[in-house]
Amino acid sequence: MFEFPPLSLYIHIPWCSKKCGYCDFYSYVSQTSIPEEKYIEHIFKDFEKDLLMINNRIINTIFIGGGTPSLLKKDSIQKLILGIKKRHTILNNAEISIEANPKTLEYKNFIHYKNVGINRLSLGIQTFNSSLLKNIERTYKKKEALDAIIEAKKYYSNLNLDLMYGLPDQLLEDTLEDLKLAIEYNPSHISWYQFTIEPNTVFYRKNIHLPHEELVFQMLLEGEKLLKKSGYKKYEISSYAKINYQCKHNLNYWNFGDYIGIGCSAHGKITQKNGTIIRTIKNKNMHHFLNGNYLHSKHIISREEKIIEYFMNMFRLYQPVFKKHFRKMTYINENTIVEKIKIAQKEGLIINYPNHWYVTKKGKFFLNTLLEIFLS
């Protein structure tokens, strides 16, 4: 019997106060006032168009990301949440997240986010080291970061702190000091991921020097020991949570669930009744978006795309990948990939059990190598 995947909603707010040199996310630097009222009205129209494709399914989670969503006025955030709830059914007690930066003008709004139903806050700390923050062009210092956490803790039991390791000029001691300080404040979730420099960024063109890979690996090993000792369970490559505080929205992505993506440059994945999966990409040109041209592209993903996208997400998780789930989410029988599984098993990247696959420690470390097997 056909069964739709769970459905989430992602809302993209594209403005930032400054574009960091390492950032490859789509964003606008706000030189003047943000046309937030007009943008939100078009967000609603974009949303209404996508609702025609979801077969009236309930939305289970909402994530407001960017850019820097906390740059918007508190009244705009309220209008956004209430407008979404007015237009479609949202699960009772749904996880509703917003990203924020630890700037004074932004964290004064945390109480207002709580009052309009946002129940999960993600703070982009990156590091507490003021010198390293300057290296990566963040616009705040250690004190502001700590003040933001203190303010957030007043209203949110479900609080994520974003931290990075392998920053330019960062030492092992710096990395562990960041984690120790974060753990002192007892957030429910820590996203701790390796700093990388992507093509088409300012840092890539500047050829910024990063720590040697052996040092970065040592940071990972020592940091994971500290997080585990402190009660944080690793459930995804860069995600660590207290019991029952895994990010439900991201888990839906990684379990190959469906999501509507609205706003400039947002991506979506929506399954149809016949098992067809539609990918949507919204227009990244703000002028075009504000003139009602929301959709940049829409296409049906191929059988090969289904397989690689499924494994790209599922192999990130620290849990078995059940063959029944693979069939259910891709509508493809696992017998068609037997030879690729054999190659991955021979390389020691996965273990093939009768009912599920499990990625080995080697497979997690060489995840790109594992995925290339399914791309070939």
Indicate if the pLDDT at residue 142 is higher than 80.
yes
| Structural domain includes residue 291 | no
Q: Which of 220, 237, 252 is the last residue of a domain?
A: 252
Give dist(CA 261, CA 139) in Å, integer: 28
DSSP annotation of 199: T
SS3 state of residue 212 = coil
- Cis geometry, peptide bond prior to residue 292 (ω within 30 degrees of 0): no
Is residue 136 very low, low, confident or very high in pLDDT (cuts 50, 70, 90)? confident
Question: Would 275 be classed as within a structural domain?
Answer: no
Q: Give me the mean pLDDT over the 103-123 stretch.
A: 88
Mean pLDDT of the region 174-197: 96
Same domain, 17 and 101: yes
**What's the pLDDT band for 91 if we cut at 50, 70, 90?**
very high
- Which of 252, 268, 303 is a domain's end point? 252
Confidence check: pLDDT of 24 > 70: no
Q: How far is the C-alpha of 24 from the C-alpha of 27, rounded, in Å?
A: 9
- 208 pLDDT band, cuts 50/70/90, is confident
- Which of these ranges, 68-77, 152-161, 171-180, 253-262, has the smallest mean pLDDT? 68-77
| Closest by Cα among 176, 257, 271, 190 to 219 | 176
Could you tell me the pLDDT band of residue 256, with boundaries at 50, 70 and 90? Answer: very high
Query: Do residues 246 and 334 share a domain?
Result: no
- 159 located within any domain: yes
Give the pLDDT score at 71.
Answer: 87
Q: Is residue 277 part of a domain?
A: no
> Which residue in this structure is represented by tokens 């969503």?
69
What SS3 state is found at 360? coil
CATH of the domain at 107: 3.20.20.70
- Is residue 121 scored above 90 in pLDDT? yes
Which comes out higher in pLDDT, residue 31 or 299?
Answer: 299
Share of the chain above pLDDT 90, in %: 82
Query: Residues of the chain with pLDDT > 70: what percent?
Result: 95
User: How many domains are there within the chain?
Assistant: 2
Instruction: Give SS3 for 250.
Output: helix
Residue that is written with structure tokens 């709580």 in the block: 114
- Rg from Cα positions in the chain: 21
CB count, 10 Å around CB of 37? 12
> Measured between alpha carbons, how far is 283 from 294 in angstroms, rounded to an integer?
5
pLDDT of residue 224: 97
Q: How far apart are CA 9 and CA 125, in angstroms?
A: 24
* Same domain? 157 vs 19: yes
- Region 184-191 average pLDDT: 98
Which of the four pLDDT bands, split at 50, 70 and 90, describes residue 330?
very high
DSSP 317: B
Per-residue pLDDT averaged across 204-231, rounded?
Answer: 92
The pLDDT, as a whole number, for residue 205 is 75
Asked whether residue 263 is domain-assigned, the answer is: no
Res 1 pLDDT > 90: no
User: Of 371, 242, 271, 353, which Cα lies nearest the Cα of 313?
Assistant: 371
Q: Provide the pLDDT for residue 189.
A: 98
What's the pLDDT score for residue 139?
83
CA 299 to mean position of chain CA atoms: 23
Going edge to edge, which strands form the sheet with 90-100? 233-236, 239-241, 189-194, 159-165, 120-126, 90-100, 59-66, 7-13, 258-262, 267-271, 277-282, 295-300
pTM listed for this prediction: 0.94
In a domain, 101, yes or no: yes
- Same domain for 100 and 222, yes or no, is yes
Closest listed residue to residue 263, CA positions, set 236, 290, 223, 238: 290
User: Same structural domain for residues 51 and 151?
Assistant: yes
pLDDT tier at 30, thresholds 50, 70, 90: low
- Residue after which a domain boundary falls, among 204, 223, 252: 252
> Do residues 61 and 148 both lie within one domain?
yes
Pick from 86-90, 344-348, 363-367: least confident: 363-367
pLDDT at 197: 81
The mean per-residue pLDDT over the stretch 127-135 comes to: 93
Which one has a higher pLDDT value, 140 or 203? 140
pLDDT, position 108: 81
User: If pLDDT is split at 50, 70 and 90, which confidence band does 347 have?
Assistant: very high
Q: What pLDDT is recorded for position 18?
A: 66
Let me know whether 235 and 353 are in one domain: no
Whether 297 maps to a domain, the answer reads: no
pLDDT of 29:
67
Q: 331 and 245, same structural domain?
A: no
Amino acid identity of 186?
N
> Any idea which of 39-43, 66-70, 214-218 has the lowest mean pLDDT?
66-70
Full domain range(s) for residue 222: 7-252
262 falls within a domain:
no
Query: Is residue 31 pLDDT above 60, yes or no?
Result: no
209 shares a domain with 342: no
